[in-house]
Amino acid sequence: MKKINKKKILFYFLFFVFNITCSIVAVILYIKYYPIESKVITETVNKTVVSEQGIEDAINNVYDSVVTVNSYYNNELTGTGSGFIYKNDDKGYILTNNHVIENCNKFEVELSNGEVVEAKLLGSDEYSDLAVLSIDKNKVPKVATLGDSNLISVGNTVFTVGSPLGNDYSGSVTRGIISGKDRMVETNDVVTKVIQTDASINPGNSGGPLVNLAGEVIGITSMKLADESVEGMGFAIPINDAKEYANSLEKGEKISRPLLGVSLINVSDRYRLYYYNIYIDQNVTEGAVVAKVVGGSGAEKAGLQVGDVIVKINNQEIKNISRLRYYLYQYNIGDKVNVTYIRNGEEKNAEVTLIGE
């Protein structure tokens, strides 16, 4: 008969008891901390639900104020875009982009309920790319709430409402975030300060609202960076900038901007400089070259001459004509600005009084 090993039995017994004890402790700890985990999960789910509900509420807050803008030339449809009703007073006022209505003489807007109504162009401005249309006040379904674009932060959730590719897709909503603010984008000799977003923007969205989670319009969708290698780079005009122009455009007033009183050529445009018999130092690679000085202007009185290369306005560096205009338009007619320019290789300064157009 085999002899029983009491030490081995005792070892297995103690090992068994140890495992049972560890299991009980593990269960107790799990039961103790599981409610906290459940609470965290529940709170996360609730926050997600609230967030999604907030987006729905924000969309509902602005949706019916958005319109599709149909632009015609001699009764022929030439293009479509978007816009939104921002005021309802003696008439309904609609903000959109200038390039949506440019070179057209008849306008219609399609409301969120599908009704098409005639619209009148009150005013437009090419430089800011803004335009104001009006419709019968009794046709206005809803007025958008305008927010404060100075309060936005990178990473904020935003969405757009508009008509990508025309009427067939009117009322389309896209969602994204603010990818950047105070971006300086240059197109067609114009520098514009814009909000960058990755919310999808397509042809037909132009003029529609960029909206925050409070349902407030913080920008006007204006352009998309068109490049096969780039995705998710759309831009919007800050609503605070648009507000500055809206009152004048409503009245049909032309936006008057200050001028130095000169005609200019970019330093990089060597062909035009040669055409006008203007020769500058090859070491000067940036700036705006004076090609003509208007008689009686602030520039003439300050002594600027043909061939001078303007390189700074009040210490803001001027790389080209677009940048010069951007910084110059921060001032008013009658203001004095310090102009830094290069003449015959020497840097000089002059105080110029700005004139009107």
| Average pLDDT of span 85-112 | 96
Q: What percent of the chain has pLDDT over 90?
A: 70
- Known catalytic residue at 129: yes
Q: For residues 61 and 63, give the distance between their C-alpha atoms in angstroms, rounded to a whole number.
A: 6
User: Residue 29's CB: how many other CB atoms inside 10 A?
Assistant: 10
Find out whether 156 and 236 touch, Cβ atoms under 8 Å: no
Q: pLDDT tens digits, residue range 36-93?
A: 444 444 444 344 444 567 788 989 999 999 999 999 999 999 999 999 999 999 999 9
**Catalytic-role residue among 124, 149, 200, 206:** 206
Element holding 178 (H helix, E strand) = strand 172-187
φ/ψ of 271, rounded to 5, equals -65, -50
How would residue 323 be classed by pLDDT, with cut points 50, 70 and 90? Answer: very high
User: Residue 80's CB: how many other CB atoms inside 10 A?
Assistant: 24
- Known catalytic residue at 206: yes
Which of 15-24, 248-257, 292-301 shows the lowest mean pLDDT across its residues? 15-24
The pLDDT of residue 233 = 81
The pLDDT of residue 39 = 46
| Average pLDDT of span 283-298 | 95
pLDDT at 303 over 90: yes
The pLDDT of residue 18 = 58
Higher pLDDT, 23 or 145: 145
Q: What percent of the chain has pLDDT over 70?
A: 83
The pLDDT of residue 38 = 45
Q: For residues 2 and 201, give the distance between their C-alpha atoms in angstroms, rounded to a whole number.
A: 86
pLDDT at 280 over 70: yes
Q: pLDDT tens digits, residue range 231-273?
A: 568 899 999 999 999 999 999 999 999 999 999 999 999 999 9
pLDDT at 227 over 50: no
Q: What is the DSSP string of 243-291?
A: HHHHHHHHTT------B-SEEEEETT-HHHHHHTT----TT--SSEEEE
How would residue 7 be classed by pLDDT, with cut points 50, 70 and 90? Answer: low
Q: pLDDT tens digits, residue range 148-195?
A: 999 999 999 999 999 887 778 888 999 999 999 989 888 767 888 999
**Catalytic-role residue among 71, 124, 129, 222:** 129
The pLDDT of residue 141 = 97
Find out whether 173 and 202 touch, Cβ atoms under 8 Å: no
Average pLDDT over the chain reads 86
Domains of the chain by start residue, with CATH: 64-139 (2.40.10.10), 146-250 (2.40.10.10), 262-353 (2.30.42.10)
The tokens describing 150, both together, are 């100075």
How would residue 306 be classed by pLDDT, with cut points 50, 70 and 90? Answer: very high
Q: What pTM was computed for the model?
A: 0.80
pLDDT at 339 over 70: yes
Higher pLDDT, 9 or 178: 178
**Catalytic-role residue among 99, 134, 170, 308:** 99
H helix intervals, the chain: 6-62, 98-101, 239-250, 270-275, 298-302, 321-328
Q: For residues 317 and 25, give the distance between their C-alpha atoms in angstroms, rounded to a whole number.
A: 71
